[in-house]
Every structure is written in structure tokens, then in C-alpha cells.
Amino acid sequence: MFPASFDYAKARSVAEAISILSSVEDAKLLAGGHSLLPLMKLRLASPSMLVDIGSLAELSYIEDKGDYVAIGSMTRHHDISSSRVLKSEIPLLPYVASQVGDPQVRHRGTIGGSISHGDGASDLPAAVLALDAKFVVAGPKRERIVPATEFFVGFLETVLSPDELLTEIRVPKFSGGWSFQKFNRRAQDWAIVGVAAVNDGGTRVSLVNMGPTPMRARAVEEALADGASIETASSKASEGMDPPTDLNASSQYRRHLAEVLVKRALTEAV
Amino acid sequence: MTVVETGSSERVTGKRLLRREDPALLTGEAKYVDDIREQGALYMALLRSPLAHAKIVSIDVSAAKKMPGVTDVMSGRDLQSEWVAPMPCAWPVTQDMKNPPHFPLATDVVHYVGDAVAVVLASDKVAAVDALAAIDVNYEALPVVVDLEDAVSDRILVHPSLGTNKCFVWKVEPDNDKVDQAFASAAHVTKNRYVQQRLIPSALEPRGVIAIPHPYGGEYTLFSSTQIPHILKVMLSTTIGISEAKLRVIAPAVGGAFGSKLNVYAEEVLALALARKLGKPIRWTEERSENSLATIHGRGQLQEIELAADEKGRITAVRVNIIADMGGYLQLLTPGVPLLGGFLYHGLYDVPAYSFSCTGVFTNKTPTDAYRGAGRPEATYAIERSMDLLAKKVGVDPAEIRRRNFIPPEKFPYSSVPGLIFDSGSYLPTLEMALEKVGYQELRKEQERRRSGNSRKHLGVGISSYVEMCGLAPSKVLGSLRYSAGGWESATVRILPTSKVQVVTGTSPHGQGHETSWSMIVADRLGISPDDIEVLHSDTAIAPHGLDTYGSRSLAVGGSAVYLATERVLEKARLIAAHRLEVSVEDLQYKDGSFRVTGSPEKAFALSSVAFEAFTAHDLPEGVEPNLEATVSWDPPNFTFPFGTHIAVVEVDEETGATELLRYVSVDDVGNQINPMIVEGQIEGGIAQGVAQALYEEAIYDEFGNLLDTTFLEYLLPSAAEFPSFELASTVTPSPTNPLGVKGVGEAGCIASPPAVINAVVDALSVFGIDHIDMPASPQKVWTAIMSSQGNGRKVE
Ligand SMILES: Cc1cc2nc3c(=O)[nH]c(=O)nc-3n(C[C@H](O)[C@H](O)[C@H](O)COP(=O)(O)OP(=O)(O)OC[C@H]3O[C@@H](n4cnc5c(N)ncnc54)[C@H](O)[C@@H]3O)c2cc1C
């Protein structure tokens, strides 16, 4: 499998990356390459140019900002899974990062790449959704801040425009229970269904691979807020969802798994 | 216990010597086909049909020819004059077997998705692949046959000119009246239907080939990632009409094969023919997804098996009917694969009446062929699944039903009703040892505790006792089965002037460690260090005779040839030593590298001196030729029959349907072990591959004949993370078939493990009244089975 031919530029700064994106048609950012390159090899994507930001030091950091932790978008999954700050302040996130793919994937893939890719089957997007994170997005004209709940819009589609770059993920600290349930066949696989739950006074639940984007399980959250039992709340796990059918699982089996996994997640987190 | 004669006071065989092959493989020094640089080579790419069955109305290559870097683009019709014969099938299993012509490129009709229709040659790899998209093929779709029973019905024909989809019907029916009587008077009868799903062999290194012409010498060298350089050489020369004397075939480092490189493939034939046509080197490396379509698949059978038994559960007859999927064409051994299991559906049980029938059918899918185990995993699965069902009917423990039926040790050599002679065996100890090792009684108690404690994670224990047949094979028997080649193996042992030893073998290792094992065999016999022994192989110019590596044959047949060639060299050396010591040969004993005179051990002549004498030839005995070398071609008198018992312990999560393999115990008897570490490696890999069949892998086709899982994202090849550490043990029952007393171990693991795992899964699910689940037992399949079981997802008592 070979990608179609393309040009390559290594950006020396965020500003330079954005200026190339604005001037070259069909240019695309390259982070860890672990989602983009497979698509290119399958010829499902054929950008004219790759703008490599994977090794930009200014985008790789994890900083304690008081009530939130700021994570540079090019921080690798491995660095998140081994971060001491995150382990003590937001333990869900490093745990989720440790469940992504295999060691090779975790040393290449970045949190910003994963979120920008916006794959409903990916783990970190669902995790930051449950964590009510906010994203800092830089563009040619201005910088904007987008809440996770408004970021994912459709299948591999986010609010990012082609000349924008996700620079930072701001994740609020929380104290309380949490759980991440990932159901897959092989250790390195994506989730067939996954559930992230955070209990921080209220309970937030998000689902992996239950729709075109990472999804908040609103029906579950509302039921819990209304005082429903875990059993009753988890039975609403697939309400409003339209999960995909693929070789691993039918839509119906996914709905069932979502209920089982939400129940397990709530039992652990609440 | 050991039958091997040794010339060494400290034995090397039986030791866990590290493999001499590994440093080069692990550091990347080893060269695979794709690593070989060849100046001026053209890269080949093949355009493959996206349709499973279609008429080729037209092919327009003109636009592709104009693409940058492209040298030539040719369709099947353009190349039809290159072939003197269709691609070979070496196993016409019956007189009237149907074998549709199969050429490297389809000319008029494509028969499966992946069937190649055109070839591009370009100055680099990417240019060749890019040009494929510019070839314009106009297809007219034809109806497609995917399902095996649909194929048997002949509703739609894969090859209309044959008039049927049935390739052959092949039977082993020694006495059908006896079988019928046994069923008529049986106290218990089981009748079951099992699916052997198709598997994609998935060698780590895909296939690859480089064909190099030497135009002024009129000769050709072909590098191929193959298991069979020798057979390939013969077949290529007869397919494209190049003199065998002008063709040299080399298998460099080969990254796994599992039977998938035991073939003559279109790309090998094409590369060589194009090298001849253009006078330029031609190279091709398969892509991963291409490998899923264009390299043979394994298994693909529908099995129906009936057992008749008396009150005690002793089997009185086995009756088997299978449909075997050939795919779109016959490859080298396609029709023969089910036969290799056809004699073994009674397993290691003493069964007085037997009937087996196999119908091979064409379908619009990738051709099948030998895949690790080839026929024996299928047979073992059918009988071992049925043994559990019989145990249930009789009301005894699965272990007990096996005890009641094992062929007893006093019956060996055992003449089986289907017509084999099992060389040696002692089955019960492997079962008892495995039960003990796994802690069977304790597991049964734990299982009960969980059931009564309303746990939703159910424990399952599955037993699989197996016998298989390897050491392919006595040539006469192969002849009687209409196989087109023999089963002997050749070896040369050459002691060089400086007394270093060269061993030339006709086997073609691709991961099995022959260099290490063969050197150990010779080291023991000569009483020298294995480090002084070099093993040469896999190049027809260096090892001209051989029948290559497959069917767990190499040690039993090729290793024996090496041993016998060493003996023969030693005989010659003895003549020279006796001459120099002026004694008769009977007075000499050989030990630790020297001949000594019996009774006066100070009179000695070292092998190293003999070697030099043989080289200088200044004073050789009358009639003895210079040089110390012997070649043996050895034809085994029988197959060998390894056996053992495997036990799997699983936990099935009733809520998700997920199965976790908790433990895996195996007790195998592969005869004498030359290098126990290599034996264990083979067993472990085999177990993993068999568990993969039981739980993970399946080539999934849709109704249009599209293969849906052509990447490792969808095709669930498991990794080490999915397995517990296996708990291995062995017993040793030497084989009387060969001088080493060895049996063979390449396939045993994947033959034994699928039924062990499925028996365990079904054992766990028996609380729901479920008595079978087809492979692969995926979570969704298990969950669906629970939901639609007798108790609709509730336990039945
Ligand atoms: C074998 C394998 C297994 C995997 N398993 C899992 C798994 O279990 N769970 C899981 O969640 N993921 C899994 N992944 C995906 C992995 O986590 C990827 O690393 C991740 O999805 C994408 O991150 P990346 O840095 O590689 O992004 P890239 O592939 O480089 O980029 C992805 C997309 O985002 C865009 N992009 C990248 N960075 C930015 C940015 N800063 N601003 C705007 N756009 C940007 C790119 O242009 C591209 O379109 C797996 C991948 C592989 C290859």
C-alpha cells in the first residue's frame, strides 16, 4: 500500500504551520501520523502536502494551571499515560491513554491528532468529552476556545476549519470517582464499545464507537440526576444512539454492550 | 529410550541449544527477497479483479502505458503464448477430478476477487502500483457462488464448461455394511455439523519474487519467498518451458509460510516468463492486503460427523461427510488437503468401522490449499467435538469417554480401519498427565462453585486428545493416493580437508531451525562440536535434490537422511583409518572424533587426519575414492504419528459474550526430541495459531464474493497479549519409522488446540443448554447463542 504522492514541509512554529495551511490548497497537518497515514495508504485521503507539526516542542507539554491542566496538542499518548500531574489530578486521562493501541502507537500518536481526527471510535475524544475539556484553536486571524461538547460534529468531522490548528487541551481537575470501560477483542484494537464516566458531584458519561462522533450518554446522565438507580440509568445507555454495524459487532449488540459497560462504569465511578 | 547411535561421550541432541539462525534474523542482517538489490530490475504490479465472477469484455492498457516510469503493461491475452502448460495442480485425487485451466493472468473470465488480469512493469514500485488505476477493464458481472452447499447444488456454475461445481468425490469406505450395522445397533448416536471457517495464513513476510535472466549464459536465477525451491524449479520449467538445467531457484530468508508458500504462484510464473521475454530482471513484493486475496487460504469445510457407540460409550463406527471449498481454481495441492485428514476422523480411538466421503467444490473465492495442519486440524476438531457430545449422551466425564476409547498400547503398531499403520503410541499417559497438571478435579469444583454462586463469569474446561500423521511421506503411499511426487529426502554430508563439516539438505527451512537441529544430529554422530558444522540449503545450485519443507516432514525424513549420510561418511572414514592403522575395520571403534583400536586404545587415528588423507589421497586403501562425502536419498517406510492431550481453561462473560483463555496445558509426544527448545517453540506457535482459529480469525465473504477483512484491522490475528503463558509437558515414545526415533512437531499445536478451546467454551456455556458454537467463538456469536438458547439467556438445569 502506497499513498499518492504529496509534498512535505516541516513547520518550525505554529504560526508557520498556519501560514502554509492558508496558502497551500489541500494541505493537511501531520501529527503522529497514526490515523492520517493509514488513510493515505488506503487512498481514502490524498492531501497535496503534509505540514509536519509532530515535533514542535512548543506544543508538547503538560502544565498544572490551578483548576485545570493544560496539555499541548502534540503531547504523545505515552507522555499522558505516564504524567504524574495527570495521574494525581485527572487520573481518568492517563488511564485512557494507556489503553490506546499498542506501545508503538502510544509513542507516536498525539492527543491533539486524536481529537482533531474526531473519530467516534477513538478513546481520548470520548474521555475529554466526559471531562468537559476545552480546546484552544489557533487560526490565521484569531484564537478561539471551543468546549468539547461543541467540537465534534460528524463522522471524522469537527469544527476545525482547514487552516486551523488545535494547540491546547484544557482539562478541568476533578475529585471523585471515575471509570473507563473498553471492550475490544485484541489488546491493540479500538473499542467495539467504550465508556468513560466521571462522577464529580454530578455524573458525566460518554461513549466510544456508539455513533459517528464520541457521544455523551445524556439519557443516562439525566436519569442519574433524577435519582434513578444505576441499573435503571444504564438501561438508557443507547437511547438516542445510532451505533454502527461492522464485522465485530452489529448495531444491536453494540446497544447491549453499551448498557453492560455503562452499568460497570457507574458501579465503579459512583 | 533413544535409538540413535552416538559417537560422542557428551550428547548434544536433547539440549536446549540456542538457534544459530536467530542472531541474523533478530538484528535484520538476514536478507529476505525484498532486501535483495538487483540493478536494473523492473517492478511488477498486478491488476486484480474487483469482481468475484465476471466476463472480461475488454482491457485497455494504453493510458497506463503512458504513465510516468511505466515500461510495459500487458493483459492475459498478450501473454498467452508464454505458457506451455497451465499452472500445476500436483494432486489429481481421483481419475475424473475436474481441473479447469488456470493461467497466471485470466484471459476471458475472472473467478474470484483478486484473480489477476493484467500486469504493469515500471522502473519503481510506486509507479507500477500507480499505473494499475489507469488500466481500463470492462467487466460483465456473472452470478456468484460463495456458500458451499449452494456450490454443491450446481445452481450457479463457477466453471460452466465443467458442467458442475463438484471437483471430485473422494471416499474411504472399507466396509459400509459394517458401518450401517453399527449405527443400526448403537446404544448412542451423535450427529453433528461443524463449520471449518476459511483462514488467511498471514505469514509475517508476504510473498516476493525476483527473476533474473543471464541473457548471455541463457540461464535464470529466481529468488522466491517459498517453502519449496526444488518443487518450484521443476514446476516452473514445465509451465513456461525453460530447461530445468538452466534454472536456479533460491529461497533466501523466508519470514514464515505455514503452508501458504507451498505453492506455485502466478507471480512466480509471470516474473520468470517476463524476465525471459524482456531479458531484464523482474521483481515483485506482495502487499499485505494483496496477500489476503492472492495467497491461498486454509480450511474452508463443512463437516458432518456421526458416531455410533455402545452403552458404555465405546465407539463402534464413525461416518463422515464433508464438503471442501477449493475456491476458484486448483492450486498446487488444493484437492489433496482434505485427504490428509480423511484417514484420521476416528482420532486416536480404536474404532472398528469407518466411512469417509469428501466432495470438493469450486466457489468464487480465493483458492484454498495446505495451511498448517492441512486436513488434520479439521479431522481432529470434528472427532474431538463429537467426543464431548458423546460423553454428554452417555453421561460420563469428557476425560472418561476418551479413556474408554483410546487405542491401547499393546495394539501398536496399530492397523487402523481406514488403512494406516500408527507407528507407536501410548495415549493414556498424556491425558492423565494433562489432567493432573491442570488440576482437573479442582477446576470442576470451582466451576460448580461459580454456577451455584450465580457468577456471571462461567468457567469452562476443554479436553482435546489428538493423533496426527506427519513425516510426509512414503513415496509408494503417495503414489497410491495419486500424488505427483515422492516423499523422500536427500542429504549430503561432506567432511572438508580441515575437518569442518558441510551438511547439504533438501529441506527448506523458513523458521523451523534446521540449521541448528541438523548440526546437532551430525555433531552427536561424529562426536564433534556443532560449531564445526555448516548446514546449506534452499538453493538448487547448492542442494540439487530435495522435496522441501511442509507436512511436519523435515526432521523425520530430512533429518533422518542427514543422520544416514553421516553414517555413510563414517563408514568410508573407517576404511581409511583401518588402512592407516593397519587393522581391520571391525577392530575399530569410533568415539569423540577418533577411531581407536579395540583393546589398544592408544592406537588411534583422528577423523581430522582421515579428512586430510581423503583430500591428499596420497595413500588411500584400494578402491576407495578421494574425498570424504556421502549423499543419501531416504524414503521413509511409513508416516509418523505424534499425539498428545491439550486442555484449555476459559472464562466466558455471560453479559458480553467474551471468552478469556485463562490457562492452556499441553502434553505432547513427538518422539525423540533433538532440541526441546525448538520443539516447545513449534508447539507454542501452533497452539496460538489454533486458538486464533477457535476464537479470532475468519476470512469473511459477503454474498457477492467480496473478502471483507483484508487488513489486520479487521482480520483478527491475535498477538502475544491475548494469550496466557502455555504450560507445556511431554512424553517420549520413539517412532520406529526412522533412525532418529522422531515424529515431527510443526503442526501438532494447531491440530490439537481448536477443539480444546471450543470444548471449553461450550463447557462453560452448557449452563444455558448450549451444546455447540462454531468457530470463531466471537463475543457477539457467544452472546447471540446465549440469548437464543433454551433458557433465552437464563440458565437451564
Ligand atoms: C494500530 C493502531 C491502533 C490504534 N488504536 C487506537 C485505540 O485503541 N484507540 C484510539 O483512540 N486510537 C487508536 N489509534 C489511533 C491513534 O491514537 C492515533 O494516534 C490518533 O488517532 C491520531 O493521532 P496522530 O497524532 O497520530 O494524528 P495524525 O494521524 O497525524 O492526524 C490525524 C488527523 O488530525 C489532523 N491533525 C493532527 N493534529 C492536528 C492539530 N493539532 N490541529 C488540527 N488538526 C490536526 C491531521 O491533519 C489528520 O487529519 C490506533 C492507531 C493505530 C495505527
Question: Mind listing the domains of chain B with CATH numbers?
Answer: 22-30+488-634 (3.30.365.10), 33-142+202-294 (3.90.1170.50), 298-472+638-787 (3.30.365.10)
Contacts of A192 in chain B (CB under 8 A): 779
Q: Where are the alpha helices (DSSP H) in B295-375?
A: 337-342
Please give, rounded to a whole number of angstroms, the shortest distance from the CA of A218 to a CA of chain B: 23
The answer to whether residues A70 and A164 belong to one domain is yes
DSSP B524-578: HHHTS-GGGEEEE-SBTTTS-S---S-TT-IIIIIIHHHHHHHHHHHHHHHHHHH
- Please name the residue of chain A whose CA is at the shortest distance from the CA of residue B128: A2
- What's the rounded mean pLDDT across residues A28-48? 96
Q: What gap in Å lies between CA A195 and CA A216, rounded to an integer?
A: 10
Write down the pLDDT at residue A10. Answer: 97
Please give, rounded to a whole number of angstroms, the shortest distance from the CA of A74 to a CA of chain B: 25
B→A interface, C-beta within 8 Å: 125-126, 129-130, 287-289, 655-656, 658, 696, 700, 708-709, 714, 716, 718-719, 721-722, 778-780, 783-784
Q: What gap in Å lies between CA B592 and CA B589, rounded to an integer?
A: 10
Q: CB of B317 within 8 A of CB of B353?
A: yes
pLDDT for residue A76 is more than 70: yes
pLDDT for residue B551 is more than 50: yes
Give the domain-ending residue among A151, A172, A193. A172
pLDDT tens-place string over residues B407-442: 999 999 999 999 999 999 999 999 999 999 999 999
Mutate to test the pocket of ligand 1, among A36, A46, A213 (most ligand atoms within 8 A of CB): A36
- Taking the centre of ligand 1 as the mean of its atom positions, its distance from the CA of residue A64, in whole angstroms, is 24
Give residue B741's region: left, alpha or beta (phi > 0; psi -120 to 50).
left
Residue B343, C-beta contacts closer than 8 angstroms, at least 6 positions apart: B172, B356, B416, B418, B419, B420, B469
Q: What is the CATH number of the domain that holds A188?
A: 3.30.390.50
- Taking the centre of ligand 1 as the mean of its atom positions, its distance from the CA of residue A45, in whole angstroms, is 14
Integer-rounded Cα Rg, in Å, for chain B is 28
pLDDT tens-place string over residues B105-122: 999 999 999 999 999 999
First to last CA, chain B: 50
Q: What gap in Å lies between CA A124 and CA A32, rounded to an integer?
A: 14
- Please name the residue of chain B whose CA is at the shortest distance from the CA of residue A187: B721
Please give, rounded to a whole number of angstroms, the shortest distance from the CA of A168 to a CA of chain B: 30
Contacts of B779 in chain A (CB under 8 A): 183, 185, 192
- Please indicate, yes or no, if residue A247 is contained in any of the structural domains: yes
User: Which amino acid is it at B492?
Assistant: T
Q: Do A185 and B716 touch (CB under 8 A)?
A: yes
The answer to whether residues A45 and A72 belong to one domain is no
pLDDT tens-place string over residues B358-392: 999 999 999 999 999 999 999 999 999 999 999 99
Q: What gap in Å lies between CA B458 and CA B664, rounded to an integer?
A: 17
- Please indicate, yes or no, if residue A209 is contained in any of the structural domains: yes
φ, ψ (nearest 5 deg) of residue B375: 95, -35
| Mean confidence (pLDDT) of chain A | 97
Q: CB of B466 within 8 A of CB of B347?
A: yes
Q: What gap in Å lies between CA B110 and CA A28, rounded to an integer?
A: 39
- What's the rounded mean pLDDT across residues B179-183? 98
Nearest Cα to A165, choosing from A38, A97, A61, A72? A72
Write out the three cell numbers for B316. 463402534
Give the domain-ending residue among A172, A193, A221. A172
The answer to whether residues A134 and A194 belong to one domain is no
- Please indicate, yes or no, if residue A2 is contained in any of the structural domains: no
Q: Do A256 and B130 touch (CB under 8 A)?
A: no
Write down the pLDDT at residue B9. Answer: 80
- What's the rounded mean pLDDT across residues A216-232? 98
Judged by DSSP in three states, B606 sits in strand
| Mean confidence (pLDDT) of chain B | 97
Q: What is the CATH number of the domain that holds A69?
A: 3.30.465.10
- Please indicate, yes or no, if residue A148 is contained in any of the structural domains: yes
The answer to whether residues A73 and A146 belong to one domain is yes
- Total domains in the fold of chain A: 3
Q: What gap in Å lies between CA B464 and CA B760, rounded to an integer?
A: 10
- What's the rounded mean pLDDT across residues B39-59? 98
Q: In the structure, what pLDDT confidence band is assigned to residue B5 with cuts at 50, 70 and 90? A: low
- Please indicate, yes or no, if residue A1 is contained in any of the structural domains: no
Write down the pLDDT at residue B454. Answer: 87
Residue numbers of the domain that contains A217: 177-269
- Please indicate, yes or no, if residue A198 is contained in any of the structural domains: yes
- What's the rounded mean pLDDT across residues A200-226? 97
DSSP B360-406: EEE-SSPPB---TTTTHHHHHHHHHHHHHHHHHHHTS-HHHHHHTTB
Q: In the structure, what pLDDT confidence band is assigned to residue B652 with cuts at 50, 70 and 90? A: very high
Write out the three cell numbers for A39. 488513510
pLDDT for residue B12 is more than 60: yes
The answer to whether residues A112 and A37 belong to one domain is no
- Taking the centre of ligand 1 as the mean of its atom positions, its distance from the CA of residue B45, in whole angstroms, is 30
- What's the rounded mean pLDDT across residues B171-185? 98
Write out the three cell numbers for B224. 522466491
Q: Residue A239 burial by CB count (10 A; 0-12/13-18/19+): exposed, middle or buried?
A: middle
Write down the pLDDT at residue B797. Answer: 60
pLDDT tens-place string over residues B466-505: 999 999 999 999 999 999 999 999 999 999 999 999 999 9
The answer to whether residues A86 and A151 belong to one domain is yes
Facing residues of A30 across strands?
Answer: A52
Write out the three cell numbers for B706. 467480496
- What's the rounded mean pLDDT across residues B728-739? 98
φ, ψ (nearest 5 deg) of residue B46: -110, 135
Cα A148 to chain centroid distance, Å, stands at 9
pLDDT for residue B760 is more than 70: yes
Contacts of B658 in chain A (CB under 8 A): 183
Mutate to test the pocket of ligand 1, among A13, A114, A158, A193 (most ligand atoms within 8 A of CB): A114
The answer to whether residues A71 and A114 belong to one domain is yes
Lining ligand 1 with CB less than 6 A are: A 28-36, 38, 73, 100-101, 105, 109-110, 112-114, 116-117, 122-124, 160, 165-166, 188, 190
When scoring A5, A185, A259 by the number of chain B Cβ atoms within 10 A, the one with the most, hence best to mutate, is A185
Return the percentage of chain B with pLDDT > 90, whole number.
97
Q: Do A188 and B719 touch (CB under 8 A)?
A: yes
pLDDT for residue B1 is more than 90: no
User: From the alpha carbon of A124, which atom of ligand 1 is closest?
Assistant: 11
- Please indicate, yes or no, if residue A166 is contained in any of the structural domains: yes
Give the domain-ending residue among A172, A190, A220. A172
Query: For the whole model, what pTM was predicted?
Result: 0.97
DSSP secondary structure code for residue B8 in this structure: -
The answer to whether residues A167 and A182 belong to one domain is no
Write down the pLDDT at residue B217. Answer: 83
The answer to whether residues A159 and A189 belong to one domain is no
DSSP H or E segment with residue B44: strand B42-48
The answer to whether residues A104 and A153 belong to one domain is yes
- Taking the centre of ligand 1 as the mean of its atom positions, its distance from the CA of residue A125, in whole angstroms, is 11
Q: In the structure, what pLDDT confidence band is assigned to residue B3 with cuts at 50, 70 and 90? A: very low
The answer to whether residues A17 and A108 belong to one domain is no
- Please indicate, yes or no, if residue A212 is contained in any of the structural domains: yes
Q: CB of B262 within 8 A of CB of B485?
A: no
The answer to whether residues A189 and A152 belong to one domain is no
| Closest residue by CA, ligand 1 atom 14 | A101
pLDDT for residue B4 is more than 70: no
Beta-strand (E) ranges in B607-658? 628-634, 643-653
